[in-house]
Amino acid sequence: MSMSSIAVKRPVFTTMVTAGVVILGFMGLSRIGTDLFPDVSFPIVAITVVYPGASPAEVETLVTRPLEDAVVSLNGIDRVKTFSREGLCTVLVLFKLSTDVKDAATGVRERVSQVRARLPKEVLEPTVNRFDVSAAAVLTYTLQGNRPLSEVRKFAEDVIKPALEQVDQVAAVEVKGGARKEVSVRLNRTRLDALGMDPGMVVARLRAANLNVPAGRLDEGNNELSVRTLGELPHADALRDVIVANGPDGSTVRLRDVATVEDGYEEMRTLVRVNAHDTVTFDVFKQSGANTVAVTEAVAARLLELQKGFPADIQADVLIEQATFIRENAHEVEVAIFFGGAMAILIILIFMLDLRSTLISAVALPTSVIGTFFVMYALGFTLNMMTLLGLSLAIGLLIDDAVVVRENIFKHLERGKNPMQAALDGTEEISLSVLATTLTIVAVFLPVAFVDGMVGQFFRQFGMTVSAAVLLSLVVAFTLDPMLSSRFSKSIHDKQDTFAWLKRPFEIVFEAMENSYRALLRWCVFHKLAVGVLAIGSLAFMGFIMGLMGNEFVAEEDRGQFGADLEFPAGTGLAETSRRSAEAEKEILQDPLFKTLFVTVGPQGEANKANWRVIGVSKSERTVTLNELKDRVRKVAGKMPDVRLTISEPAFVEGAAAEAPIMINVRGLTYEDVAPLSRSVGEILRTTPGVDDIQVTVSYTHLTLPTNREV
């Protein structure tokens, strides 16, 4: 007994199975998260080594090279990138996508441990971390208050940061802006020399005096007590009273006698501004693989509770929210899916001219789509651009099987058979053709899910979603469609059609279409050579048209925001960088098309650089394009002398670096060979039409395999 026979003869069973599929689909939909793209993981391991006070050349020679030599021979490595900066070495080990990142990180740690003894003693302990681009900042808040920024920052670190880090799937909260409390000790060299002391002695005494250490145990009869020596200094006055030496006459020398102790704030190396006003911000980072929308909603709810206990003058406002774009994109695709489904049903009604047939066929569409949500949930997918794209593409395919089956059943009804017999015979007659058509579609899309590389990670969910939806539609066409046809169809033999007058205009059009197609088909049959030439010519012409089109990994988006990196001449101080950047910021904010300008002066401690996050009004509120907004920023920045500007859009994968569309690597054996050549390449690019934002980075940044330098 075939599947269709069971479905027709057991209508209750068929109905309950279909209802179960729909219920599971709704349960899966309620548990599926929403994201912009599928969770893409890149096996990257980062090594960070701090070498205080060392120049880039020393970091390169004494730290970077030994680390390179140690890790470069690991299995599965694709590339090794190293960055040598003042006092800091960063090594990024990029493995092939098939590599297990946990095993890769373990291998890197072992190699770093082996080479640790060869590094300078002044080097701090190397840190090895898995670099996960999906563990990205999904929210940025600005914290305003009628009090010094240092107090606002302390409030953020003491109250907001620990509370939000307890939220499920939040990895960390990073506070920026303001200054931390710091006690500075300024030694008087003259007094030290008079007492025969050196700074190292003072530092050693201060370290010894500012400790809490265990002091053993104390027995009291049957009881035992643990003893601790509490020596941690509670405040600056206690620090001033620390004895650092004894004078020649046996007198004690306290720190206040040889130094000035100031209870103040640390030196500012990074400034944060929003719309030309100094502020404090905090970024919320999600955990690897966590859902962006879910994390955003949980953080917003937790922060709303916290704000009830905030001081009256402190207010937290959202500055950047990644979930906004995700919701907007998902909503647009969902609307397209509903609209496409409605149009498909309408087309069926127009061509079949039978309301019963249309309704029976249309049931397959929501049943297949809703059932697919459960498959997506079971496979760990999310509602993202790729899965929704798959569903929108499958809308037209999901109803095909049901339409073909219903049309054949309708043909048997026209022959005078009763509804049940027509459903059985019509489905059995067409079953092999429908099965072949569906499996052909699956054979096209399912292999997409197993493509290797980064493209495969993106399209896996796409291919699996389309295949699951089409297979579900096949099951529905073989079960629910014939069952409904057998129960709700009526014999049409010698039946008077009440709506014949309404159908007549459509039938006239269809008859004309059939006659035209018959004539065209007759011509094609008798002119085979002409048809062949036209087919081959069309193929060649389409190839020519395709060559005129551009190529992109993903389509360009207008999110209304972009980034701008400003680099002033080397040696420019933080205050000067801030002043020059502030002048340009005020001019940009005078343009009504820009609503927010988020500026970080001195990112990563580089005093001669400034990073702008420019947020314009939404696309619906302006007539100019995003590229025109970028040109306005270029025009303002171009007024500043000796500044290099680089415009970039947010990366399409959250957390990934926003790299330029075209990057040219100039390699050589020595820095002196590479630097002049790279500048020459930059000058050539500046004279190339259509090329903007040329940035020549001359630094000890290089790519290995084989080991060399990259500029």
User: Which residue in 663, 683, 685 sits closest to 81, CA to CA?
Assistant: 663
pLDDT for position 656:
46
At residue 337 the predicted structure's pLDDT band, cuts being 50, 70 and 90, is: confident
C-alpha to C-alpha distance for 532 and 58, rounded to whole angstroms: 71
Predicted TM-score (pTM) of the model is 0.72
- Answer yes or no: is pLDDT of 419 > 90: no
Give the CATH number of domain 3-31+354-495; options: 3.10.270.10, 3.40.630.10, 2.40.37.10, 1.20.1640.10.
Answer: 1.20.1640.10
**Tens of pLDDT, residues 204-233:** 888 877 777 777 777 777 778 777 777 777
Burial zone of 96 (CB within 10 Å; 0-12 exposed, 13-18 middle, 19+ buried): middle
- Which residues, 6+ apart, have CB-to-CB distance to 148 below 8 Å? 178
Report residue 99 as tokens.
């590599």
- pLDDT grade for 517, boundaries at 50, 70 and 90: very high
Query: By mean pLDDT, which of 300-314, 364-378, 554-568, 665-679 is the weakest?
Result: 665-679
The pLDDT of residue 653:
47
Q: What is the DSSP string of 462-523?
A: HHHHHHHHHHHHHHHHHTHHHHHHHHH----TT---TTHHHHHHHHHHHHHHHHHHHHHHHH
Cis preceding-peptide flag for 706 (omega within 30 of 0):
yes
Residues 6+ apart with CB under 8 A from 589: 275, 276, 597
**Tell me, what DSSP letter sits at residue 181?**
E
The pair of structure tokens assigned to 521 is: 């088909």
pLDDT at 1 over 80: no
Q: Please, which pLDDT band fits residue 493 given cuts at 50, 70 and 90?
A: low
If one compares 543 and 281, the residue with the highest pLDDT of the two is 281
* pLDDT tens per residue across span 314-332: 888 888 888 888 888 777 7
154 token code pair:
């302390």
Query: What band does 366 get if pLDDT is binned at 50, 70 and 90?
Result: confident
CB 391 within 8 A of CB 357: no
Beta bridge mates, 274: 277, 598
**Cα dihedral across residues 152, 158, 159, 162: positive or negative:** positive
State which fold the 182-214+228-265 domain adopts: 3.30.2090
Which residues, including other chains, have CB under 8 Å from residue 198's CB and lie 6 or more apart?
192
Strand partners, 406: none
* Full DSSP string of 584-649: HHHHHHTSTTEEEEEEEESGGG-TTEEEEEEEE--GGG-SS-HHHHHHHHHHHHHTSTT-EEEEEP
pLDDT of residue 706: 41
**CA–CA distance, 291 with 274 (Å, rounded to integer):** 28
CA-only gyration radius of the chain, Å: 35
- To the nearest whole percent, how much of the chain has pLDDT over 90? 10
* pLDDT tens-digit series, residues 555-602: 677 778 888 888 888 778 888 988 999 999 999 999 889 988 999 998
Residues 358, 352 contacting (CB under 8 angstroms): yes
| 3-class secondary-structure state, position 252 | strand
Whether 629 contacts 662, CB under 8 Å: no
Q: What is the pLDDT of residue 707?
A: 40
From CA 453, how far away is CA 41, in angstroms rounded? 11
Average pLDDT, the chain: 82
Q: Tell whether the model's pLDDT for residue 192 goes beyond 60.
A: yes
What phi and psi, each to the nearest 5 degrees, are found at residue 703? -115, 135
Of the two residues 450 and 247, the one the predictor is more confident about is 450
Q: What is the pLDDT of residues 118-140, one digit of tens each?
A: 898 888 889 888 876 666 688 89
pLDDT at 55: 81
Burial category of 516 from C-beta neighbours within 10 Å (exposed 0-12, middle 13-18, buried 19 and up): exposed
pLDDT band at residue 701 using 50, 70 and 90 as cut-offs: very low
Which residue ranges does the chain devote to CATH 3.30.70.1320? 137-179+275-325
52: helix, strand or coil: coil
Q: Is domain 44-131 classified as CATH 3.30.70.1430?
A: yes
Query: Rounded to the nearest 5 degrees, what angle is found at the Cα of 87, between the Cα atoms of 86 and 89?
Result: 90
pLDDT tens per residue, range 162-173: 999 999 888 889
Distances (CA, A) of 687 to 604, 637, 643, 680, 682: 32, 19, 18, 11, 9
Residue-wise pLDDT tens digits, 622-674: 888 888 888 888 888 888 888 888 887 665 444 444 556 677 877 776 667 77
Please tell me the least confidently modeled range out of 266-270, 370-374, 498-502. Answer: 498-502
Residue 705 has a pLDDT of 44
What local confidence, expressed as pLDDT, does residue 383 receive? 85
Q: Which CATH class is domain 137-179+275-325?
A: alpha beta
Residue 34 clears pLDDT 60, i.e. is over it: yes
At the fourth CATH level, which superfamily is domain 558-656?
A: Multidrug efflux transporter AcrB pore domain (3.30.70.1430)
**Cα separation values, 201 from 52, 192, 251, 664, Å:** 20, 10, 17, 52
Tell me the sheet residues that pair with 283.
140, 174
